[in-house]
Structures are given as structure tokens and as C-alpha cells.
Structure 1
Amino acid sequence: MDVMLVAVASVVIIIAVTALAPRAGVAAPLILVLIGTGISLLPTTPAIEIDPELILAGVLPALLYAAAASFPAMEFRRELTAIGGMSVLLVVVSAVVLGAVFAAVVPGIGLAAGIALGAIVSPTDAVATSIIKKLGAPRRVVVMLDGEGLLNDATSLVLLRSAIAATAATVSVWSVVGDFLQAVAIAVVCGVIVGRLGLWVRARVRNAALSTAASFVVPFAAYAPAEALGASGIVAAVAAGLVTGTLAARHLRPQDRLSEESNWRTVEVLLEGGLFLVMGLQIFGLVEDVRAEHGSLALALGVATIGAVGIVLVRAAFVLPLLALLERRRRRAEQVREVVHGMQARLEAGRASSEEPGRGLTAAAVAEAYAASLPAGMDPRRRRRAVQRMTRRVEAEQRRRAAPRTERREAGMATRMAQFQRRMLRKLADVDYLMAAPLGPREGMVLVWAGMRGVVTLAAAQTLPADFPQRSLLVLVAFGVAAGTLLVQGGTLPWVVRRLGLAGSASPRHAEGMEGLRAVHDAASRAMLDDPGLRRPDGGTYAPVVVARVRDLVLRDQEDQVEEEQTPEELATQFFELRLATIGAQRAALLEARSVGRYDSVLLNRALELLDAEQIAVEMRAE
């Protein structure tokens, strides 16, 4: 009964704080940490210690899966350089630098134990970064922070395992690198397989509630085998989430996706709030352990302060050159843009004049575009050889085109040219994305200040063996770093973002994206409704009056809804069939636009949600 009362009280607190915090202008996680800390310090509250495995295996896979499932895949691809650097290199650098500092200031621990503590406090928390999402900060900054929080846990946990092993035996750098690569590779394979299998199963369950229930199993089904194989279960859960988020619109019904989104949001709110509340509730037990061992909290507070300041300084030193690298990439994109635009114009001109696709693309033009896409600092001789190889490939392709053709060869060439044009569209979209969202000093300051630590740090600290040197002290230091960065940086982050003029920053592609998506929507509808080969599912033809009515409804954006009794009974079925088929064509066009990356991901997701709602409404009326 006591456990039930605690659980109910915790849920009530989480709901109340989450609902009221926005009115107070304070992030809910900060209030929950303070409430938990206050409760833990009450004389009647016993020392509370949560099994770290409950957090690492029972909560984080679900939260990170949900975050990954809503993460835009095209932006993940575009920011892979930054995300990879911040989630791998930055964690390694932070762990080593801070490890050396900890080893120097904490008595009784060596470098290996210091690096273990450095690995614990190095990763940012994907849950903690939820604070910045509510501020309307630049989308690109949010994507980088989200991607970093999703992936840096694996780097931290592998380093932690290696550092713990190094306290008892010698561990080589190459063995750590090998362990990390193996852990990530196995985890990604497990996650992709489980993610695809989950979609396959859910596509065959024609019940939204059961489909959502099946989605709750996916993160743990990915986590368990990865951990059993010695890999990172966290990365496996993230990989499964990315696969689900990317392919769900192609495989699942709108009802399934809407039900899943709604239920997972509820789960996220409760689990996130519970984690922050748990952080505060554990403070009393940690304080008592350190007092019993050291008699004072001064050392723990001092080391935690050094760690909190150190991670900000190391992060700033890493982000500055990263921003310079990204700016170089943006400038190079400017050089490539005109060349790619010219090639795209030639393709369009060749298609408009019914010429052979790609006739206007000479070997010199392709070589010019390829040369412009190479790194600016590349050795001239290597650049020349690379361009020559590309030129020879293009010339060989042109010779194949000039050879006598069969129907199969022409079809293959048409497919290759379509793929080439799609790659160019994606390249143009990537260039436009980089041009529209530059990262300057203001964005860099937000990236540095938003690198808060959270529950993952505390959970990782509690996995230290019982006989680890100065274990209680190190766990309290980890808590101090996590709570300190969360309260100080998280509490001042809204002020920093507003002071820098970045609050409420709308995507610069928003206005043009609204119009562009409408054009994609209409083009897909026209292509389908004007197709002379349009057929019903049973092979029959649609009545002209039905096609005209659907065309009016879709392309003229009329508000009146066609009721079944307004259409003759024999035409009602055709109307709803054609309306749903048109929605399917519109969705396919939007998904293609998403895969190319031509429009803002937020707009694309909103357009897909509206299509889902429209399909549900049509299906309900059809029934």
C-alpha cells in the first residue's frame, strides 16, 4: 500500500508541476529536482536508493526510443558531422581531461578512476535538453543537442566500463576503441532488425490500441539482445526508434500513428518527470554516506564545482573549432550551389524538350560540379586525379548511352538518371538548409550553455562497483555536477536564449515551405486524378462525376464536406475510394519530399499529421 501511495503521489506531483511550470516561466524538470531534494531532506523521509539498472534498462530505452522516433531522419543525416563529433569525440576528450583533473584533486584515486568519473559526467542528457525545446531556439541547435543526447550515452558507458577494468588491470587504447566500435556496430544491427520487425508486425495488427502496445515492446526488444551480445542497448533502442520514425508513415495506418504518438507523449511526460523527481529524492542517502566516510561535504562540493566548470570550459573549447568547421562546410556549399543549379536546369530543359535525359550534361560539367564539391584544402594533385577519375566515368557512361539500345538498357538508363536527379535534388536541399541556418557565435553560446547533465550521469555513477575507490564521494560528485548544471545552466538558459535574441526563432524556410508543400500536395493530386489509366481497386473505372467532385474538393480547397446522401448510393463507394487513393498519393509525394529534404521537417510532419487526420475523417464517413 505504501508503494502505491508513493507512486500515486509522484504522478500527481509530476502532473501538477508540468501543468503549472509554464505559467511560472520555469522549466518543470528544475522544479521537480528541487521538490525531490526538499522531500529527501525531511526528517521523516528515509534514505532512498534506486537500482541504477532500473533506470539504465527500464526507463532510458523507452525515453530514447520515443525521442529517436520523433527525430527527423533527414536532419540527422545533415548534422551527422556535428552530432558524431559531439557525441563521440567530445565525450572522450571531456572524460580524459576531467579525469586527469579529478585524479589530481581527489585523494586516493588514480588516473583510471578519475577517467571513470570523467566518463560519468561527460554525456549530456537527452531528457535535460527538453528544456531548450520549449524556448523556440533555432531548429538546427535543437537538432544538434537532441542528436548528441541520443548517442553520447554509448560512448560514456563504454569508456566507463574500460576505466573500471583499468583500475584492476592494464587496458590498451586500441582495446577501448575496438570495444566501442563493436558495441555500436552490433547495437545498430540489433536496433535496425528489431525496428523493421516491429513495423512488420504492427502493419498486420488492424487495431490501434494493440499496435501501440506492440510499440511499447520495441525499445526493450532492441535493448536486451544488444546488451546480451556485449553491445550498447541504448544505441540499439535509438536505432530502432530512428527506423520506426523514418518508415512508420509508409507501413502504419494513420490511426496507429496518432494513437502511438498520443500514448508515447503520456509515457514520456511521466517517465521524464519521474526521473527528475528521483534525482532529488536520492540526495539524502548520498549525503549521509559521504558524511560517514569523510565527515564533511566540502570536498565533494569542491570537486563537483570543479567538474561543472570544467565540462563547460571543455565544451566551449570543442564547440569553437566545430563551428569553424561547419562554417567552412557552408562556404563550400555556396560554391557548389550554382554548379548544381546549372546541372539541374539542364536536366529540366532536356526533359521539357523530350530529349534524352541528361543529354545536356557533358563530362566537363559533371567534373566541374564534382571539383567544386571537394574540400577546399585538398592537395592539388589528389584533386586533379579525383576529377580525372570522375571524368573518365562520365565519358564511359556516355559511350554506353551511344551504343545500340535495347528496351531493358533504356529502362536502366532512365532509372539511373532518375536516381542521379534525385541525388541532385537532395544536394540542393542540403545546400539550401546550410545557407538558411548558419551557426554563428550566438548559436555557439547556446550549444555550450545547453550541455546540461541529468539522470543518466547519476545512474551511471551508481553502477560503480562497491569496492571502487572513494565510491560514495564519486557518486555524490556526479550528483553535484548533474544537479548543478541542471539548476544553474537550466535555470538561466531561458534568459540566455532571450538575451541573445534567439527565442522564438522561426525557421527561415517556413514561409516558402508552406507554399512549396501545397504545390507538392496539388501536383500529386493532379498527377493521379488526370491519369487516364486511373482504376479502382477491383480494376473498374471511376465515374466522371466522382472524379470531378474529388478534384473540386482536393484542388480547390472547398470547405463543404461531401456526405454520403449527397451522392447517389452507387457512386458513394467510388467517391470514398478515390478520396482515400488521392490522400495516399499526397502522402507518397510528401514522403518523397521528406526523403529529399526539400522542406522544413516541422512543416513536413505537420502536413503528414493533417493528412492522417483527413484520412481518418474520410474513413469514418465511409463507414
Structure 2
Amino acid sequence: MGLQLLVVAAGAIGVAAVARRRGWPVPLVLVAVGLLVSPFVPAVPLEPELVLYVFLPPLLYSAALDSSYLRLRDAQRTIGLLSVGLVLFTAAAVGMVVHLMLPDLPLALAFALGAIVAPPDAVAAVAVGRRLGLPRKALTVLIGESLFNDATALTLYRVAIGAALGGAVSMWQGLGEFLLAAVGGVAIGVALALASAWLFRYTRDSLVENTLMLLIPFAAYLAAESVHASGVIAVVIIGLHLGNRMHLQGFGTRLQSAAVWRVTAFLLEAVVFALIGLQVVTVTEGIMGSYGVWEVAGYAAAVLGVVILSRFVWVFVLTYPIKLLGQATARPTVAQRLILSWAGMRGVVSLAAAFAIPPEVPARDRALLLFLTFTTVIGTLLIQGTTFPTLIKRLGVSGRQQQYEDRLAEAAAQQAALDAGVAELERLIEKDGEPDEIRAEVISNLREKSWRRSLSAWERLGGGTGQDGAETPSALYRRLRREMLHAERRVFVRLRDERRLDDEVLRTVMAELDFEEALLNRD
């Protein structure tokens, strides 16, 4: 298993590298390649425990750290309707349709299938949306939905499976389990968030803090699941809390954290999407002989259609009267609703839940649920995922105006901050008295740097060129300084190769040059 995962990870990274270079959506390419190579390679099992306890917590935590608590709070009504209301509605719709098609299948298992395929995975949709400039509000809703909908679906799944194995479960029992999972997850998340924030006040060591951050999502998930609370909610809560307080950490912690979680998310997402495609042989083998080809294809098409259609019905029909009961908010346009409705790609959590169906469930029923889950995941990824970019372009929904407003706000904020910095410099000069020649040169350099940063912030509004298309002073400075840095690096490396500079010293000076170039390339 370990060797198989290593090979899958290496192959997935290679495929992802090619997709990134060509500008293709990485998740969809990984799934497609997995489907193509699956018949020709040994079966790679998708272990539910591996997905739910190893892959899911850090992916959720990384997404929560990178999310805006304030934007999520502003969109909480829409996110709640999608992550709770839509999941319940989809699960009910799928359960009823499956029960009508397969009356011999226990009703509880039909609703278990509904819970399995109900939660979308927004990774693919967000990746495409960001690349094509989807408005921030739409991205916030998609991210918020993906952070919380797994908790609703997995809780509903546990209730349905329990009913299938242990007899009838009343609506009040199911509601009680759901509330226990939600409230317990929030309580554990808040408690660990406060404890972690208190601990980070005394560490002040970027290496230690980032090491602890790697452990936090696993600790939160395990702590919540051990008391039958929602591990998903616990991880999201602590991630949002610490992400909102990241400005209180040292600069070293922030720089390392950004790099650590980008690499972690890239690796885990590459592996999980590759694993989805590689399950085709395992899934189809289980269904062979139990059902006719056209029969099972009809079931799969019906479930996929209900999953896609239920999202449209919820977004366009059912949420409107619900919102009328609450406070008035700006109504999204038809184009925005279409994009939100079409961004319903399913992911690895659904597949892991299907693989986790207990062996006590009859093998024929278990194989059918797994097959229908797999076809729904693949169908939404390949149908909705491949057409999602075209839909965004055709509808002309863009966040370009928001990008301009962001740069304008950044320039104004930079100007205000730099004015405060210069004022503090002048106060210190006045306090320390008349500077000597060396101190005067240092002060002059500080003033020049502040002026250059202020100029750069305003010039970014024009994309680095003036009105006549000529290179702006800041753009010229960055270009020339980059070339100087490349020349400096060549000298350091040459001195190392000539044994006149130790490798440890080389790494130190290279890090300094890299930080400077990172500032130059921040556009």
C-alpha cells in the first residue's frame, strides 16, 4: 500500500506539473488520466480511513486558513442554505428516486446514497474560477459551502447507515445526532482554537509554530470524532480562527506557513484526484454479474441527473422564498445563479464514504451504492468540470472590476501605511537629534525606499506601464534589480564551486537574495 501510494503520488505530481504548465484544470486532468491508466495498472485501493483521517483534515484546515472569516460571515446565509439545506434536499431527492427505481433496496440505504453524493467538492470549481477571474463573492460562497457541507453529509450518512443496520431511527433521534455533531464540533473547535492561540503567544519560534500547525487539524478531527462530534466543523473552526489571527504571528511563521500549506494542499489534492480515477476497475468489478449493463447505466444516469437538477431547483426555486423570510440582501444575478448551480462537482469524500459502507450491508447492495457514487463523482467532474470554464466565459461573469478596486484599495492603504512609517521616522530623527553623515545616508535610503514603495503601489493600477506604454520607474527598477540579483547569485555559486565559500554560507546569502526577489515579484 505504501509503495502504491508513493507511485501514485509521483505520477500525480508529474501529471499536475504538465497540466499547470499548459493552463489546464489540474483536478480534471488527474481524474481523466486515472481513468485511462486504471485498466493497465494494479488496483490501488482507496482506504476510507486514509481519506477521512489523513487527507481530509489538512485539506480542510489549509482551505480554512486561506479563507476570509469576515467574507464568510457576510455570506453566512447563502453558505448555510447550501451547506445544510441543499445537502438535506439533495439527499432526500436522491433517496426517494432511488427507492422508486429500486423498491427492493432498503429505504435507509437509498437515503445513505443520497447523503454520500450530496456534498460537492469545490476544489475543481474554485481552481477554475480563480484562474478565470470569478468574482470574489462567488468564490467565497463556493469555498464556504465546501468547508461545511461535508459535516452535514457525513452526519446524515451515519444516521442512515445506523438505521439500515440497527433498525428504525426516528426523525428526532436523527435531528439529535445532527445537533450533537454540529454543536460538539463547534465547541471542540473553539476550545482548541483558543488553546492554540494562547500557546502561540509564548512560542515565538516559526519552526515550532508551523510544526504545531501541521498537527492541529489531525488533533481537532480526532478529538471531535472520538466523541461522535463533527471533525469537519472542528477543523474548519480552528482554521478560520487561527487564519484570522495570523497577523499576530511573526513574519517567519507567516512566510513558512504559506509555503508549507501550499505544498501540502498541492500534494494531497493531486493524490486524491488521481485516486478517484484509479478506482474504475475496482468499482466496476463489484457490479459485474449482479445487474445488466443497460440497467445499471440507467440507474447511474438517473442519480446523476437528480444530483445536478436538485442543485438548480434549490438555487433557482426554493432559496428565494426562504430568503424572503430573512433580512433583505442583494439578490444574485441569473448568471451568478447559473454558475453557482453548475459548480456542483463531487469529490473524494463521497467516494470514501461509499467505500466505508460496513460489510454488514449485503454485498450486492454495497456494490451498487459504490458504483452509483463513482459514476456520480466522475459524471459531475467530467461533465460540469469540463464545461465550467466555457460557462463562465459565455456568461461574462468576471471579477476584473473587483481586481481593480482591490489594487486601488491596496494603493491607498500602502500610502496611508507609508505615511505613518515616514512620520515615525521623522519623530525618531527629531528625538535622536541631528544625524551624522552615516546616519543621514541611512535615513535617506529609508525615505527613498518608502517613496519607491508608494510609487509602486499606484503604478500597479496601470499594470507596470505608463499612459504611453513606456515602462514605469518601479517596473524598470524591478527588472534591473532582478538582473543584478541573478548576477550576484552566479558569483556566490562560483565562489562555492571554487571552495572559497561554504555551502552553509551560500544558503544563507541565497535566502536573503530570494526574499528580495520575492518582494520584487509580488505582482
TM-score in same-fold range (> 0.5): yes
Asked if 1:316 corresponds to 2:316, the answer is: no
In 1: Cα distance, 2:453 partner to 2:278 partner = 56
Partner of 2:335: 442
Sort the Cα spacing of 1:523 and 1:487 in 2 relative to 1 into closer, same or farther, 3 A: same
Alignment of 1:413-562 (within 5 A): 439-469=332-362, 470-503=365-398, 505-507=400-402, 509-522=405-418, 524-525=420-421, 528=424, 542-543=432-433, 545=435, 552-553=447-448, 556-557=451-452
| Cα shift at 1:136 | 1.6
Retained in 2: the 8 A contact 1:33–1:279? yes
Note closer, same or farther for the CA distance 1:543–1:212 as it changes in structure 2 (3 Å cut). Answer: farther
State the 1:312 CA deviation: 1.7
Q: 1:220 aligns with which of 218, 224, 235?
A: 218
SS at match of 1:181: helix
Aligned position for 2:487: none
1: distance between equivalents of 2:434 and 2:225? 59
Distance 2:191 2:445 in 1: 40
SS of the residue aligned with 2:190? helix
The answer to which of 470-479 and 27-36 deviates more is: 27-36
Determine the C-alpha separation between the residues in 1 that align with 2:61 and 2:2: 28
Does structure 1 conserve the Cα–Cα contact (< 8 Å) formed by 2:411 and 2:454? Answer: no
Q: How does 1:307-346 map to 2 (within 5 A)?
A: 307-321=303-317, 324=320
Task: State the 1:111 CA deviation.
Answer: 2.3
TM-score by length of 2: 0.78
Q: How many angstroms does 1:39 deviate by?
A: 2.5
Q: CA deviation at 1:47?
A: 3.5
Residue aligning to 2:174: 176
TM-score norm. by structure 1 comes to 0.66
Unaligned 5+ residue runs, structure 1?
330-373, 377-433, 561-612, 618-623
Within the candidate set 139, 142, 161, 1:142 is matched to: 139
- The code of the aligned residue for 2:409 comes to G
1:288: Cα distance to partner? 0.8
Task: Show the counterpart of 2:250.
Answer: 253
**Shift, 1:127, TM fit:** 2.9
Residue 163 of structure 1 corresponds to: 160
> Which deviates further from its counterpart, 180-189 or 202-211?
202-211
Judge which range, 503-512 or 221-230, deviates more.
503-512
The structural deviation recorded for 1:311 is 1.6
Match in the other structure for 1:340: none
How far apart, CA to CA, are the structure 1 residues paired with 2:332 and 2:405? 15
Q: Secondary structure at the match of 2:123?
A: coil
1:506 to 1:12, Cα distance in 2 relative to 1, 3 A: farther
Cα deviations by residue, 1:297-345 (Å, 9 ceiling, x for unpaired): 433332221122112211111112577579979xxxxxxxxxxxxxxxx
2: distance between equivalents of 1:133 and 1:145?
Answer: 11
Q: Where in structure 2 are the equivalents of 1:293-442 lying within 5 Å? A: 293-294=290-291, 296-321=292-317, 324=320, 375=327, 439-442=332-335
8 Å CA contact 2:20–2:26 kept in 1: the answer is: yes
Conserved 8 A contact 1:128-1:453: no
Among 264, 283, 286, the alignment partner of 2:283 is: 286
C-alpha spacing 1:528/1:59, structure 2 compared with 1 (3 Å):
same
- Alpha-carbon shift at residue 142 of structure 1 (Å): 0.8
Instruction: Could you tell me which runs of 5 or more consecutive residues in structure 2 were left unpaired when the two chains were aligned.
Output: 456-511, 517-523
AA aligned to 1:442 is A
1:86 and 2:86 correspond:
no
Paired-residue identity, %:
33
Q: Which moved more, 1:74-83 or 1:438-447?
A: 438-447
Q: Secondary structure at the match of 1:243?
A: helix
Give the aligned CA root-mean-square deviation in angstroms.
3.1
Equivalent AA in structure 2 for residue 462 of structure 1: F
SS at match of 2:413: helix
- Do the aligned residues in 2 keep the contact of 1:199 with 1:248 (CA within 8 Å)? no
The CA deviation string for residues 32-64 of structure 1, in whole angstroms up to 9 with x for no partner, is 11222222212xx34432220110111100100
Are the equivalent residues in 1 in contact too, given 2:184–2:224 (CA < 8 A)?
yes
- Matched residue type, 1:37: L
Partner secondary structure for residue 85 of structure 1: helix
Amino acid at match of 1:446: I
Question: CA 1:559–1:517 in structure 2 vs 1: closer, same or farther (change >3 Å)?
Answer: closer
Find out whether 1:272 has 2:269 as its counterpart. yes
